C-alpha cells in the first residue's frame, strides 16, 4: 500500500462512518497521511480525527475509535493505533507495500512519459481565452496541455492577433481555432475581435481545408478566462534574456496570482535554481541508466519482477536532509519511500493541475520529485560503489531511478520545457 492508497482507504472509512450515521460531519475532500515522526508508532499517521472532532461534536479520540473500527482488516493495513489526543497511527503490511511499489515502478516504466495521463475530463469541452500578453499565452498553452492529458477537448483564443514570438516559446499556434465573438472582458478590457484568416483559421469565405467556425457559446459555456499576473515583458525580450525553457519555467513556476520572477537566476547552473534542479535530476537519472549499462547492472524488463522495496536494501548510507546543513538525517529506506510516494502521487497532481488550471502545481511537484531523487540517489546509490558487485538491490534502485527520470521528463514536457540527457 502506498501513501496515496492509505489516504484513500482512510477517506473511505470516513465516508462509511458518515453513511452509517456514526459520524455527523462533512466528508473532507482528501485525508492527509504522513510518515510517522521519530518516536512515533507505525509507518504513517493522520490527524483526520482531530479535524473532524469539532464538526462532529465529539472528542477526537472518540472519532479516532470510530474510524479505527472501520479500518480494521483493510487490505494493506496491518494495524491501527490511537496515540496522543487522537492521532491515527498505521502499520502497513510489508508484503502488500512491496507489491504496491513494484507495481508502481512497472506502471511508470510501461507507460513512459504518458504516466499520469487519464480520462478524468473525457468529454469535457473547454474554451480558454486569454489576453494578448506573454504570460497569459504561455499559461493557457500549459493548461491546454494538462487538460488534453486528462482527455478534455480544448480550444484556445486570444484578444487580438497572437504574437508570432509566442511560437518560439513553444505556444502551439494550432490551438487557436476560430474564436467566438469576444465580449469586451473575455480576454482583457477592450479586447478586439480577431480578423478572419489569422493563424490558420478559415478566411471569410471558409476556404481553408477542414476549417470550422466557432459560434458564440458553441465551445464551452461560458469561455474560461486565463488571467495570470502579467509578466511585464514581451516574448521577444524574454527569449533574448532567458531562452525558451527558462522563460517558460519562470512564467509557469509561480502561481498565477503571484508575480513571476524572471531574473537571471533562472539560467544559473546552481541548486538555488529550481529549473536547474529538476533538469539536473532528470539528467542524473539518465546517467544512472548509462552507468548501469557499462557496469552490467541490468534493469528488469516488462514482465520481470522488480523488488522496488528492495531498493532500500543492500549497501547504503545516511545523508543529511537536502537543504539543511544540520538537519535530520535520511536513511535509504526513508529516501526510497519518499521518492516512491511522490511518483505514486504524480497522476493525482496532473489531474489537480488540469482541474484547477494551475500548471504551477505540476512545476512544484517536479521540484519535490527532484529533491527526493537526489536524497534517494545519495542514500541508496543505484550503482555499485568501489569493489561492490552488482546485486538485486542495485537492479531495483536503477529501476526506481529510471521511473523518477521518466516522471520528470513527462512533467517537463507537459510544461513545454525540454529535458536534456546531459547538463
pLDDT in tens, the chain (423 residues): 777 888 999 999 999 999 999 999 999 988 998 888 766 788 889 999 999 999 999 999 999 999 999 998 888 888 999 999 999 999 887 666 677 778 889 899 899 999 999 999 999 999 999 999 999 999 999 999 999 999 999 999 998 888 999 999 999 877 665 333 333 333 433 333 333 333 333 333 333 333 333 444 445 457 889 999 999 999 999 999 999 999 999 999 999 999 999 999 999 999 899 999 999 999 999 999 999 988 888 775 554 555 444 554 444 444 444 443 344 456 777 788 889 989 989 999 999 999 999 999 999 999 999 999 999 999 888 888 777 787 878 888 899 999 999 999 999 999 999 999 998
Residue whose entry in the numeric block shows the C-alpha cell 462532529: 56
Looking at the chain, which residues constitute the CATH 1.10.730.10 domain(s)?
A: 274-414
Cα 385 from Cα 378, distance rounded (Å): 12
Cα 53 from Cα 233, distance rounded (Å): 50
Strand 77-83, strand 87-92: pairing:
antiparallel
**pLDDT confidence of residue 188:** 37
**pLDDT confidence of residue 95:** 66
**pLDDT confidence of residue 214:** 41
* Helices 60-71, 3-19: inter-axial angle, 10-degree rounding: 110
CATH number 3.30.1360.70 given to 3-92: yes
Sheet holding 224-226, edge to edge: 153-158, 125-130, 224-226
**181, burial (CB in 10 Å: exposed 0-12, middle 13-18, buried 19+):** exposed
**CA neighbours closer than 13 Å in the CB half-sphere of residue 202:** 14
Are 77 and 91 in contact by the 8 Å Cβ rule? The answer is yes
Provide DSSP, 20-52.
Answer: TTS--SPPPS----EEPPTT--SSEEE-HHHHH
For residue 144, give the 3-state DSSP assignment. helix
Cα 157 from Cα 136, distance rounded (Å): 11
Cα 396 from Cα 221, distance rounded (Å): 49
Cα 204 from Cα 195, distance rounded (Å): 9
* First and final C-alpha spacing in the chain: 35
Q: Return the beta strands (E) in 19-172 as ranges.
A: 34-35, 44-46, 77-83, 87-92, 125-130, 153-158
Q: Is the pTM of this model over 0.85?
A: no
CB atoms under 10 Å from CB of 96, counted, come to 16
For residue 386, give the 3-state DSSP assignment. coil
Q: Residue 65 corresponds to which cell in the numbers above? A: 475509535
Cα 267 from Cα 314, distance rounded (Å): 38
Return the ∠ at Cα 284 (arms to 282 and 289), rounded to 5°.
100
**pLDDT confidence of residue 306:** 54
Looking at the chain, which residues constitute the CATH 3.30.1360.70 domain(s)?
A: 3-92
CB atoms under 10 Å from CB of 395, counted, come to 21
Please give the CATH topology (third level) of the domain spanning 274-414: Isoleucyl-tRNA Synthetase; Domain 1 (1.10.730)
Cα 268 to the chain's mean position, in Å?
24
Alpha-carbon Rg for the chain, nearest whole angstrom, is 24
Q: Is the dihedral of CA 32, 35, 39, 45 positive or negative?
A: positive
Amino acid at each position: 500500500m502506498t501513501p496515496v492508497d492509505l489516504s484513500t482507504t482512510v477517506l473511505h472509512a470516513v465516508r462509511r462512518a458518515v453513511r452509517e450515521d456514526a459520524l455527523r460531519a462533512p466528508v473532507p475532500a482528501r485525508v492527509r497521511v504522513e510518515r510517522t515522526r521519530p518516536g512515533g508508532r507505525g509507518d504513517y499517521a493522520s490527524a483526520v480525527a482531530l479535524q473532524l472532532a469539532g464538526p462532529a461534536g465529539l472528542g477526537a479520540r472518540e472519532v479516532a475509535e470510530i474510524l479505527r473500527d472501520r479500518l480494521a482488516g483493510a487490505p494493506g493495513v496491518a494495524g491501527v493505533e490511537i496515540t496522543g489526543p487522537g492521532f491515527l497511527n498505521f502499520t502497513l503490511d510489508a508484503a502488500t507495500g512491496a507489491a504496491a511499489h513494484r507495481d508502481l515502478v512497472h506502471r511508470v516504466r510501461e507507460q513512459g512519459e504518458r504516466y499520469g495521463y487519464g480520462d478524468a475530463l473525457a468529454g469535457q469541452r473547454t474554451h480558454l481565452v486569454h489576453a494578448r500578453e506573454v504570460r497569459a499565452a504561455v499559461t493557457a498553452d500549459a493548461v491546454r496541455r494538462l487538460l488534453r492529458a486528462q482527455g478534455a477537448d480544448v480550444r484556445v483564443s486570444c484578444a487580438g492577433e497572437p504574437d508570432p514570438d509566442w511560437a518560439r516559446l513553444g505556444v502551439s499556434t494550432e490551438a487557436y481555432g476560430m474564436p467566438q465573438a469576444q465580449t469586451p472582458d473575455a480576454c482583457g478590457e477592450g479586447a478586439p475581435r480577431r480578423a478572419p484568416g489569422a493563424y490558420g483559421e478559415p478566411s471569410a469565405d471558409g476556404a481553408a481545408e477542414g476549417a470550422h467556425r466557432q459560434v458564440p457559446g458553441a465551445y464551452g459555456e461560458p469561455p474560461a478566462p486565463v488571467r495570470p499576473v502579467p509578466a511585464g515583458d514581451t516574448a521577444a525580450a524574454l527569449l533574448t534574456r532567458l531562452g525558451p525553457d527558462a522563460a517558460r519555467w519562470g512564467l509557469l513556476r509561480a502561481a498565477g496570482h503571484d508575480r513571476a520572477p524572471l531574473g537571471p537566476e533562472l539560467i544559473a547552473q546552481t541548486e538555488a535554481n529550481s529549473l536547474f534542479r529538476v533538469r539536473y535530476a532528470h539528467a542524473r537519472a539518465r546517467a544512472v541508466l548509462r552507468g548501469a549499462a557499462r557496469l552490467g547492472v541490468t534493469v528488469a524488463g516488462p514482465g520481470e519482477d522488480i523488488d522496488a522495496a528492495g531498493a532500500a536494501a543492500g549497501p547504503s548510507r545516511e545523508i543529511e536532509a537536502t537543504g539543511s546543513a544540520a538537519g535530520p538525517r535520511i536513511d535509504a529506506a526513508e529516501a526510497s519511500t519518499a521518492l516512491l510516494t511522490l511518483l505514486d502521487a504524480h497522476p493525482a497532481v496532473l489531474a489537480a493541475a488540469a482541474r484547477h488550471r494551475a500548471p504551477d502545481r505540476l512545476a512544484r511537484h517536479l521540484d519535490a520529485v527532484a529533491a527526493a531523487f537526489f536524497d534517494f540517489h545519495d542514500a541508496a546509490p543505484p550503482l555499485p560503489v568501489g569493489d561492490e558487485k552488482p546485486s538485486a538491490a542495485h537492479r531495483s534502485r536503477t529501476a526506481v531511478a529510471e521511473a523518477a527520470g521518466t516522471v520528470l521528463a513527462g512533467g517537463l514536457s507537459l510544461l513545454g520545457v525540454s529535458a536534456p540527457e546531459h547538463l
